[in-house]
Amino acid sequence: MAFKAIAPSPKTSDHKSAIIPPNPNPTMNLSPTAREIQAKLSQLSLSEQTWLMEYLAQQIRQTLTPQPDWTDDLTVMAADPQIQAELAAIDAEFAPTEMDGLA
């Protein structure tokens, strides 16, 4: 997606008219929410637009990064006798605090 730089017109501020985004792909069906966001982007300051772009990039990176599946590891740990003994020791250590109503 390329952006075309243009000179600002005297009637508009520099940060809102310096860049014209391309029109979305005509075959792309934008949701009403996406169309509303697109329409309101021009109301944001340049710093707000920059923050939003960085936020969106971070969200996309997190979505595309595979999240580890700990299910198998947790199952093995839960069955481990040493871990079970440690959990029992922790339970015994904190048993008196259960009576104070904070547990």
Task: With both helix axes pointing from N to C terminus, report the angle between 81-94 and 71-79 in degrees, rounded to the nearest 10.
Answer: 80
Average pLDDT, integer, range 60-68: 84
CA atoms of 59 and 22, how far apart (whole Å) = 22
The pLDDT score that the predictor gives to residue 99 is 76
Could you tell me how many residues make up the chain? 103
Percent of the chain with pLDDT over 70: 71
For the cut 70, the answer to whether the pLDDT of residue 69 exceeds it is yes
Q: How confident is the prediction for the chain on average, in pLDDT?
A: 79
User: For the whole model, what pTM was predicted?
Assistant: 0.40
pLDDT band at 68 (very low <50, low <70, confident <90, very high): confident
Are 46 and 17 contacting, i.e. CB atoms less than 8 angstroms apart?
Answer: no
CA distances from 78 to 69, 73, 95 (A): 15, 9, 20
Q: Which of 53-57, 85-89, 98-102 has the lowest mean pLDDT?
A: 98-102
Average pLDDT, integer, range 46-75: 89
